[in-house]
Chains A and B, each alone.
Chain A
Amino acid sequence: MLRYLIRRLIQTAVLLLVVSVVVFALVLLAPGGPSILLDRSMGAEEMARMRSLLGLDQPLYVQYTRWLAQVLRGNMGVSYQAGLPVLEIIGQMLPNTLVLSAAALALALAVAIPAGVVTAARPYTAVDHAVTFFCFFGVSIPVFWYGLMLIVLFSVVLNWLPPGGMYTIGGPRTLADLGRHLVLPAVVLGTANMALFTRYTRSSVMAVLRQDYLRTARAKGLGQRSVLYKHALRNALITIVTVVALQLPRLVGGAAITETVFAWPGMGSLAVRAAFERDYPMIMGITLVISTVVAASNLLVDLVYVYLDPRIRYD
Chain B
Amino acid sequence: MLEHVAKVAARAATVLGLALVLAATAGPVQQAAAQAAANTFSLPIIDNARMWPIVGGLPNILVNKVLYSTLVKYDAKNLAPVGDLAERWTLADDRLTWTFALRRNVTWHDGRPFTARDVKFTIERLWLNPQVAFFQRGNVAEISRVEVVDDYTVRIVTRTPFATLPVMLGYLANILPEHILGTYTPDQLRNPVDFLRNPIGTGPFRYAESVLGSHVRLVAYDRYFLGRPKLDAIVFRVVADLEQQLAQLQTGQLDLMIIEPPQVAVVQRMPHVQIIDAPQVNYTFVGFNNKVEPFTDRKVRQALTHAVDRKAILDKIYLGKGRIATGPINPLLDWAYTDKVHQFPYNPELAHKLLEEAGWSKGPDGIRRKAGQPLKITLDVDRGNPVREQTAVVVRQYWRDVGVDADVRISEFNALLARIRTRPNPLQAWTLWYITPPDPDVMGYYHSTGTLNEFGYANPELDHLLEQGRATFDVKARAKIYHQAQKFMAWDAPVIFLVYPAEIQALNRRVRGWAPIGYRDALTHMTGVSIGR
Residue A276 at the chain B interface, CB threshold 8 Å: yes
A84–B196 touching, CB < 8 Å: yes
Contact of A180 among B26, B56, B418 (CB under 8 A): B26
Taking A264-B213, A276-B412 as given, write out 20 further A-B residue pairs in contact, using a Cβ cutoff of 8 Å, ordered by the A residue number.
A36-B135, A39-B57, A40-B433, A40-B435, A44-B423, A49-B133, A81-B50, A82-B48, A83-B52, A107-B12, A114-B9, A168-B33, A170-B37, A179-B19, A233-B5, A263-B238, A263-B239, A263-B248, A273-B47, A273-B240
A–B complex contacts, Cβ < 8 Å, 12 sampled: A33-B414, A44-B421, A44-B451, A45-B138, A46-B135, A49-B133, A83-B191, A110-B16, A169-B36, A170-B235, A180-B29, A265-B214
B418–A160 touching, CB < 8 Å: no
CB proximity of B237 to chain A, nearest CB, Å: 7
* Complex Cα gap A276–B434 (Å): 21
- What residues of A have a CB within 8 angstroms of the CB of B223 in the complex? none
Residue B262 at the chain A interface, CB threshold 8 Å: no
B214–A166 touching, CB < 8 Å: yes
B452–A44 touching, CB < 8 Å: yes
- What residues of A have a CB within 8 angstroms of the CB of B213 in the complex? 92-93, 96, 264-266, 269-270
A229–B133 touching, CB < 8 Å: no
A110–B13 touching, CB < 8 Å: yes
Contact with A along B194-235 (1 / 0, CB 8 A): 001100000000000001111101000000000000000101
Majority secondary structure, A binding face? helix
Residue B2 at the chain A interface, CB threshold 8 Å: yes
- What residues of B have a CB within 8 angstroms of the CB of A78 in the complex? 191, 193
B23–A165 touching, CB < 8 Å: no
Residue B22 at the chain A interface, CB threshold 8 Å: yes
- What residues of A have a CB within 8 angstroms of the CB of B416 in the complex? 32
B138–A31 touching, CB < 8 Å: no
Q: Which residue of B lies closest to A264 (CB)?
A: B213
Contact with B along A76-89 (1 / 0, CB 8 A): 00100111110001
Size of interface on B: residues with Cβ below 8 Å to A: 90
CB proximity of B47 to chain A, nearest CB, Å: 5
Using CB atoms and an 8 Å cutoff, list the residues of chain A in contact with chain B.
Answer: 30-36, 38-47, 49-50, 53, 78, 81-85, 89, 92-93, 96, 103, 106-107, 109-111, 113-114, 148, 151-152, 155-156, 159-171, 176-177, 179-180, 182-183, 186, 229-230, 233-234, 237, 260-266, 269-270, 272-273, 276-278
B1–A46 touching, CB < 8 Å: no
* Complex Cα gap A40–B136 (Å): 10
- What residues of B have a CB within 8 angstroms of the CB of A168 in the complex? 32-33, 36
CB proximity of B473 to chain A, nearest CB, Å: 24
Do A179 and B12 form a contact, CB below 8 Å, given A43-B451, A92-B212? no
Residue B153 at the chain A interface, CB threshold 8 Å: no
Q: Which residue of A lies closest to B384 (CB)?
A: A276
Q: Which residue of B lies closest to A168 (CB)?
A: B36
CB < 8 Å A-B pair total: 253
B235–A81 touching, CB < 8 Å: no
Contact with A along B393-410 (1 / 0, CB 8 A): 000000000000000000
Residue B444 at the chain A interface, CB threshold 8 Å: yes
Contact of B418 among A32, A36, A264, A269 (CB under 8 A): A32
Residue B93 at the chain A interface, CB threshold 8 Å: no
* Complex Cα gap A42–B172 (Å): 11
B133–A103 touching, CB < 8 Å: no
- What residues of A have a CB within 8 angstroms of the CB of B233 in the complex? 170
Majority secondary structure, B binding face? mixed
- What residues of B have a CB within 8 angstroms of the CB of A229 in the complex? 2-3, 6
* Complex Cα gap A83–B253 (Å): 27
Do A50 and B212 form a contact, CB below 8 Å, given A82-B48, A156-B247, A162-B253? no
Residue B461 at the chain A interface, CB threshold 8 Å: no
* Complex Cα gap A33–B422 (Å): 11
CB proximity of A131 to chain B, nearest CB, Å: 15
Contact of B251 among A47, A93, A159 (CB under 8 A): A159
Do A43 and B137 form a contact, CB below 8 Å, given A84-B193, A166-B214? yes
* Complex Cα gap A182–B213 (Å): 15
- Of residues 159 through 204 on chain B, the ones whose CB sits less than 8 Å from some CB of chain A are 172, 190-193, 196-197
Residue B264 at the chain A interface, CB threshold 8 Å: no
- What residues of A have a CB within 8 angstroms of the CB of B413 in the complex? 32
Residue B94 at the chain A interface, CB threshold 8 Å: no
- What residues of B have a CB within 8 angstroms of the CB of A159 in the complex? 28-30, 251
Contact of B2 among A49, A237, A272 (CB under 8 A): A237
B35–A171 touching, CB < 8 Å: yes
